[in-house]
Amino acid sequence: MELFGRHELRAGMDPLEITLRDQKLVITSAAGAFYYKRYIADALKAESTIVSDEKGVTVGVFPVAPLLTPAQVAQNVYVRFKSPVVVDQRSDVVLYTKIPIEIGVYRQSGEEELLIDAFSLAGQKYALYGAPEAGKVCRFTEAEASATKDGVLVEKYTEALVRIRVANEIDNVIKISKVIIPMQGVVLDHAQDEAWVPGGIDMSLDTAFGKDIVNVRLSGTKVKKGDKTSAQRREDTLVFMMDAGY
């Protein structure tokens, strides 16, 4: 059974249990309500009561951008490559890497959804990108970069595959050691419990007014606005301007 996806619950049902490594999600039905609880070992870490005038409810368990735990302190993911990537001048290449993910639990009803729990199966790291007085706090990870999907080992339930198109429009050979990916509201795709960032990430290196500029753009990626609970997803674009230095 795939753990990621929508789970239909009915009144009077047997308890639904989903085990994700050391964490167990349990949903029970009693007295006209549904009770959600998450445990690590025998310790209760989160709980919610779901009530409805319908005989059943839907709960979704999905991979989500790694920005929610332990608190929402970042909007971007900082990926430092374990080995730098050298790209020729005036060339266009595709790389694959990975980012950490978290798991979100949603109460879903029609076209609406509400996040009721979020957790991570791996430890979180954060780093400051940029100057101390004006930098951005980012979720940090180190990962390999490869010219093929098979060159990146993506771990289920903790990581998602990322495709990056690098367009080097300058006249110099460059060495890329990191990428900052804007992830606020990004909806991850999944199948057979594997996750990936839909669409593509375009990393464009160019020159303007004698200065190198680096734009990271998520195009064709599904984004939900933070002030909406609607599950209806639309195409959107996120952009992050990196400092020269790659």
224 pLDDT higher than 90: no
Does residue 164 fall inside a structural domain? yes
Does residue 3 fall inside a structural domain? no
236 pLDDT higher than 60: no
Give the mean pLDDT of 149-172.
94
Give residue 240's pLDDT band: very low, low, confident or very high (50, 70, 90).
Answer: confident
Peptide bond just before 70 cis, omega within 30 deg: yes
More confident residue, 241 or 147: 147
Does residue 49 fall inside a structural domain? no
More confident residue, 214 or 1: 214
Give residue 222's pLDDT band: very low, low, confident or very high (50, 70, 90).
Answer: confident
Residues 6+ apart with CB under 8 A from 112: 229, 230, 231
> How many structural domains does the chain have?
1
HEC per residue, 99-144: EECEEEEEEEECCEEEEEEEECCCCCCEEEECCCCCCEEEEEEEEC
Does residue 122 fall inside a structural domain? yes
Does residue 141 fall inside a structural domain? yes
228 pLDDT higher than 80: no
- Given a contact cutoff of 8 angstroms between Cβ atoms, the answer to whether 25 and 60 are in contact is no
More confident residue, 232 or 96: 96
pLDDT tens-digit readout, 15-39? 999 999 999 999 999 988 999 999 9
Host domain of residue 213: 61-242
pLDDT tens-digit readout, 45-69? 999 999 988 888 999 999 999 999 9
Report pLDDT for 216. Answer: 92
Does residue 80 fall inside a structural domain? yes
- Which of 56-70, 124-138, 193-207, 222-236 is predicted with the least confidence, judged by mean pLDDT? 222-236
Does residue 1 fall inside a structural domain? no
Using CA atoms, how far apart are residues 58 and 66, in angstroms rounded to an integer? Answer: 23
Give the mean pLDDT of 204-219.
84
Does residue 215 fall inside a structural domain? yes
Tell me if the pTM is above 0.85. yes
Give the 3-state secondary structure of residue 151. Answer: helix
Report pLDDT for 232. Answer: 44
239 pLDDT higher than 90: no
